[in-house]
Copies of this chain bind each other. A is one copy, B any other.
């Protein structure tokens, strides 16, 4: 999953230079480590330090905090998309939605930092459509539309509403599992179409 070019866009002619690629890997590795330890508070300098790389290198490779987070969690984000598809194919629409919310929560629990900044940047920055945002919103849309077409979810709910509700309230501070259950129940209850 290590790209051989910085952007993955169509305009890369050359592969990354060997040292660049090595440092890329080190940075992502260190970032994952530091993020696990310090979450949202993680310092970029600490990450660079841990990676044994100059701060300048970090900034060259990842101009944005978000871009680093994305690199770290890219695989996980893609995995979310995959398991979303599976849910939609194998479960009943409502059950899929229910299950998906829990998948999202579980997912968010280990990716607070990314999620925080992602939801945060949901409104503004709408220019910079990052891979993660597209993917997560896409997943939400898939499972939601599926439920709506089956008539089990209210038609007016939008994917971003789902993210807000599930992500938003969960993202702030920890949530004990009891409260988590209650909150999810409330959200699901509010989304379910009246019988």
Residues of A within 8 A of B (CB): 116, 119-124, 154, 156-158, 160-161, 164-165, 167-176, 179, 182-183, 185-191
Contacts and interface: CB of A to CB of B under 8 A. Distances in A.
B189 A164 contact: no
Contacts of A167: 169, 172
Determine the main DSSP class of A at the interface with B: helix
Report which residue of A160, A169, A183 has the largest number of chain B beta carbons within 10 angstroms of its beta carbon.
Answer: A169
Given A186-B187, A188-B190, A191-B186, A161 B179 contact: yes
Contact of A186 (B116, B121, B123, B190): B190
Given A165-B186, A183-B165, A171 B174 contact: no
